Amino acid sequence: MSRRLQALADAAGSELEGAHPTEVLRWAGDTFGSRFAITSSMGDAVLTSLAAEAAPGIEVIFLDTGYHFPQTLETRDRVAAELDVNVVTARPQLTVAQQNVKYGQSLYARDPDLCCAMRKVEPLNRLLRGYEAWGSGIRRDESPSRANTPVVGWDARRHMVKVNPLACWTQADVDAYAAERGVIVNPLVELGFASIGCAPCTRRVSAGEDARAGRWAGQDKTECGLHV
Ligand code: SF4
């Protein structure tokens, strides 16, 4: 099974390079049906809007870490109410209060890798067991670590097809699409947050900085571990 899926991913990655995100999402929806879901951090609903058009009713996984800005939760609720998608909220095994008791306060400041592993990676892995393919909105222009993101690739850790329909788009493409279509955007974007994650690990970015420079600022960490 894995070998077949990997061959499918490799072929689609070549064939769909440069294709419009709608075409990539339609391919994934047609190929995997209900065994394909996307994830969204609710920074904006660009990928989710495209997916709703290409694969109506698609499941959209949101990782509710317990540390989100209120604006992010409001964006999730708007997406669920206004778009033709099924938002699925994944939660960690421990609440923030339980984690504080077990690991001490502010684990994110002392060991963000462990915090992300428990609050993001484990819940996503648990939920993705029911699917063959998953999609995300990551883009090559977001940071050097994402520069080689394939449009469709093989997630070797999860043995799944990974679909990145926006890989070739730039921030300008995303902004233009959002403005043209009146897409739901997290209100924090207007306040200078270019990439939005958990509140304790996210700051505004300055002009000229990478979109993800505001994530785990001042630490070596650049990724939460979902996309490696
Ligand atoms: S982004 Fe920060 S608060 Fe959120 S799970 Fe990772 S380390 Fe914890």
Mean pLDDT over 87-103 rounds to: 98
84: closest CA among 104, 103, 59, 109? 59
User: Is 198 a catalytic site residue?
Assistant: no
Q: Which residues are registered as beta bridge partners of 38?
A: 60, 135
pLDDT of residue 142: 85
Atom of ligand 1 nearest to the CA of 115: 8
Q: What is the distance, to the nearest Å, from the Cα of residue 185 to the centroid of all Cα atoms in its chain?
A: 14
Q: pLDDT band at 216, cuts 50/70/90?
A: low
Query: What pTM did the predictor assign?
Result: 0.91
Contacts of 17 (CB under 8 A, 6+ apart): 150, 151, 168
CA of 33 to the centre of ligand 1 (A): 31
Q: pLDDT band at 211, cuts 50/70/90?
A: low
SS3 category, 43:
coil
Measured between alpha carbons, how far apart are the two ends of the chain, in Å?
22
CA of 36 to the centre of ligand 1 (A): 26
Antiparallel, parallel or unpaired: β 36-39 and 160-163 = unpaired
Q: Is the CB of 196 under 6 A from ligand 1?
A: no
pLDDT at 106 > cutoff 60: yes
pLDDT of residue 92: 98
Mean pLDDT over 11-22 rounds to: 97
The pLDDT tens digits of the residues spanning 128-137 come to: 998 999 999 9
42, 72, 115, 227: which to mutate for ligand 1, most atoms within 8 A of CB?
A: 115
Quote the CA–CA distance of 95 and 113 in Å, as a whole number: 17
- Mean confidence (pLDDT) of the chain: 93
Q: What is the distance, to the nearest Å, from the Cα of residue 163 to the centroid of all Cα atoms in its chain?
A: 11
pLDDT of residue 46: 97
62, 67, 118: which to mutate for ligand 1, most atoms within 8 A of CB?
A: 67
Q: Is the CB of 28 under 6 A from ligand 1?
A: no
Could you tell me the two tokens for 189? 């974007």
Quote the CA–CA distance of 189 and 171 in Å, as a whole number: 12
Q: For residues 67 and 41, is the Cβ–Cβ distance under 8 A?
A: no
DSSP 206-222: -TTS-GGGGBSTTSS--
pLDDT of residue 228: 56
pLDDT at 221 > cutoff 70: no
The pLDDT tens digits of the residues spanning 149-184 come to: 999 999 999 999 999 999 999 999 999 999 999 999
CA of 77 to the centre of ligand 1 (A): 21
Residue nearest to atom 1 of ligand 1 (CA): 198
> What percent of the chain has a predicted confidence (pLDDT) above 90?
82
